[in-house]
Structure 1
Amino acid sequence: MKSDLTSAAPPPRERGAIDPYALDRDGLTALFAELGAPAYRARQLHAWLVRGVDDPREMTDLPKDLRDQLAERFAPARPELVAHRVADDGHTHKLLLRYPDGESIETVLMLYPGRATVCISTQAGCAMGCPFCATGQAGFRRQLTAGEVIRQVVLCDAALRSGTIDRDALPADAPDHVTNVVFMGMGEPLANLPATLATVRWLHDPDGFRLSARGITVSTVGLVPGIDKLADVGLPVTLAVSLHAATDELRDELVPINRTHPLAELEDAVRRYRDRTNRRVSIEWCLIGDVNDDAHQADRVAAIAKRLRAHVNVIPMNPTPGVRWKEPSARATSAFVDRIEQRGANVTLRDTRGRDADAACGQLLASYDLGAGTMLPAAIGAADRVDKLLPLTGEPGS
């Protein structure tokens, strides 16, 4: 399996059409130079974009003739809100967004006291083929552009700032702006490096969106070259590694990229990232009933976490349409977390937000597709392949 999907092209646009969110500061400056406008106009435009305004006709501090020129150049790239599911007493908002070419992706806004986190997608679908993931079941369709990724954050931020989301239903001290962004939605962020890195820089821009690097988390299933390139950015963003299995035999089936970058190679890359950024890495573990919730896996992931000085986040599986695997029992979940802690590793049992809003990654889109009779190809036969590896040696986890 190839670990780099950057060759898959975004949808074609009209010749000369521009998505302003896909331009960095240099790109905006070059655009205004081409239009014969002074460079400070680029700063004015960028300020509007940060506020979620992309229609030049609304940019009142720009001259009208310049607004008209920009309107002719900008592409209609704003996504349409197809579905909006609300869960957790208004604290979780799951959005199904459709771009002008008809492709749909998911974005989730999660609200906590003092924190507003947006979970964003970087690809339409995913080619990593993890059989328990609804996104992977749908297959890979195309890369998202940097502008399409950034717009997900801007849309949620603008909704909070404008009061579109009912403040009365939120925690009393919920912020009125986005404070954290996690690249944990549809797709593999490090398989779309240009868009991922551009988005990280755009969000962190101290003269723009001003998001703390420590408020940004980039998730990966283990694309080693991408981990090294993320470290080259020079920002201490949090790296979250979706491990899900602590032996190569099981991980080969649950996370197929492991056949290209096995655990030992992945550990080395994570260690390099930690050493270069001085940032603690997170290990993400989707706990699947009777698959990876036993004592043997708990012992192995605890050992990996201790070697890497990483923190383990355990997330019980959300049932997914088309997959017969199940969430673990409460007893197995408690035993798994306790065993990791007893082995001296840092571990947290994460809240499974939005179960009543199809909140598992790709699940809202999968529900729409299944309703239309679409098959989920990666799910077919995948569970049977993993069953051949079970039961694993070691004490039972429940």
Structure 2
Amino acid sequence: MSTEVVATSAISDAQPQSPSAPTQKSVEKVNLLGLSRPQMEKFFEEIGEKKFRAGQVMKWIHQFFVTDFAEMTNISGKLREKLEKICVIEAPEVVHKNYSKDGTRKWVFRVGDGEGSLVETVLIPADDKTGARKTLCISSQVGCALDCSFCSTGKQGFQRDLNQAEIIGQLWMANYSYMEDIPVLERERSVTNVVMMGMGEPLLNYDAVLNSMRIMLDDFAYGMSKRRVTLSTSGVVPKIDQMVKDIDVALAISLHAPNDELRNELVPINKKYPLEQLIAACQRYIAKDGNESSRKHVTIEYVMLDGVNDSLTHAQEMIKLLKNLPSKINLIPFNPFPHAPYGRSSRNKIISFQKALSDAGFVCTIRQTRGDDIDAACGQLVGQVADRTRRAEQWKKKVAAQNEIIRSQG
């Protein structure tokens, strides 16, 4: 990729410079795909252009899915030539895609250099009262550092954070997949909902995720309702409090256990931010007033593990834990993966668990498993990602050793 001398301060967060860059701030072409509107406006001012050009270019990129500056017909030829020299519009490389028989779509993207620098993105279609819903599950990191015991993604370890272009590029590509053969001016955005619920812990990549969500909400980009953008976290309490100041989107908590002892085992970050702190942070998050706020409740995600967290005693503990937190509960049937030490709770157990919560006054649903024929279901977002940390290898050896002890004792 060619190198140009361009203004850099507007994009310092989204496009980090190479450590070996010369003092005159010579950088690679700027990827406009990842810039929020304030960052784009500042960039245009720094190259001697009016900042309103930012909105024009954002519409071409995110609403008409144009990557060729020559197609931006309401921009002067001189400016288009200028942008062609110093900028690109570039989504992550698709190295694999698969469409399920149930309509689910899955992509594997290469991000950065290296065969193991891959992330996965899943789009799940569903019909609801507003029409056809298309929910995109977006990744924020290559791998994950939190190592939740039931999650296949965590078994590969953590490699790096995604930048803004790599995060928003997943949404760009999912939309584009429905319209690549449609004339530019007839294109319409297809994805209706986004959940930051893919690979990685979003709040540990805070700035890039925050700016990406701002692009999702921006009327010059995707114009999504803040109630249709959800951030899911395992419980990084200080960053939940930071979100109160920075953005208004829906919040989901990966709970998975109703007491600290069990949650310490399933979700190790609980040792740092135990349930009392986490629930208090959730209460602070939804304290904002206003009818238009998306913070009216917190979504509680709870994966159902056979004989581990699925008893009626656990249900009663959960009722007590959440009694003062406006919440909707989503029960998730566990999706087994190779060498997983858990099994999926029976349908009867899940229904009994749901009934206990519903009888206590909670809105409680059971998630329908989708896309498992293409390894796209919740907890299976590991696919072709390489294990650079050797965590998966060590974990598999541990499971094999435990199984050998069980056999010898039997």
TM class by shorter-chain length?
Answer: 0.7 to 0.9
1:95 is paired with a residue whose SS is: strand
Q: Could you tell me how far 1:350 is from its partner in structure 2?
A: 0.9
- Between the aligned partners of 1:293 and 1:385, the Cα distance in structure 2 is 26
Is 1:318 matched with 2:335? yes
Q: Could you tell me how far 1:73 is from its partner in structure 2?
A: 2.2
Is 1:231 matched with 2:244? yes
| Correspondence 1:106-255 to 2 at 5 A | 106-113=120-127, 114=131, 115-162=133-180, 177-235=190-248, 237-255=249-267
- Between the aligned partners of 1:343 and 1:72, the Cα distance in structure 2 is 62
Unaligned runs of 5+ in 2: 1-12, 183-187, 404-410
Is 1:271 matched with 2:283? yes
TM-score by length of 2: 0.81
- Between the aligned partners of 1:191 and 1:378, the Cα distance in structure 2 is 24
Residues 32 and 89 in structure 2, CA contact (< 8 A), matched pair in contact too: no
Residues 239 and 281 in structure 1, CA contact (< 8 A), matched pair in contact too: yes
- Of 182-191 and 24-33, more deviation after overlay is shown by 24-33
- Between the aligned partners of 1:252 and 1:217, the Cα distance in structure 2 is 25
Deviations 1:144-166 (A, max 9, x none): 111211111111112224468xx
Which of 90, 93, 103 aligns to 1:80? It is 93
Q: Could you tell me how far 1:77 is from its partner in structure 2?
A: 4.2
Residues 293 and 328 in structure 1, CA contact (< 8 A), matched pair in contact too: yes
Could you tell me which residue of structure 1 aligns to residue 299 of structure 2? 282
- Between the aligned partners of 1:206 and 1:62, the Cα distance in structure 2 is 19
The alignment of Structure 1 onto Structure 2 pairs a total of residues equal to 366
Q: Could you tell me how far 1:59 is from its partner in structure 2?
A: 2.7
Deviations 1:65-115 (A, max 9, x none): 4323323323574212122222243x2111111124242111111112321
Root-mean-square deviation (Å): 2.9
Could you tell me which residue of structure 2 aligns to residue 67 of structure 1? 80
Which of 342, 347, 371 aligns to 2:359? It is 342
Is 1:16 matched with 2:32? no
- Between the aligned partners of 1:301 and 1:382, the Cα distance in structure 2 is 31
1:78 is paired with a residue whose SS is: coil
User: Relative to structure 1, is the Cα distance of residues 100 and 140 closer, same or farther in structure 2, using a 3 angstrom cutoff?
Assistant: closer
Could you tell me which residue of structure 1 aligns to residue 5 of structure 2? none
* % same residue: 37
Q: Could you tell me how far 1:140 is from its partner in structure 2?
A: 0.7
Residues 146 and 196 in structure 1, CA contact (< 8 A), matched pair in contact too: yes
Residues 88 and 353 in structure 1, CA contact (< 8 A), matched pair in contact too: no
- Of 102-111 and 259-268, more deviation after overlay is shown by 102-111
Which of 309, 312, 331 aligns to 1:292? It is 309
User: Relative to structure 1, is the Cα distance of residues 121 and 100 closer, same or farther in structure 2, using a 3 angstrom cutoff?
Assistant: same
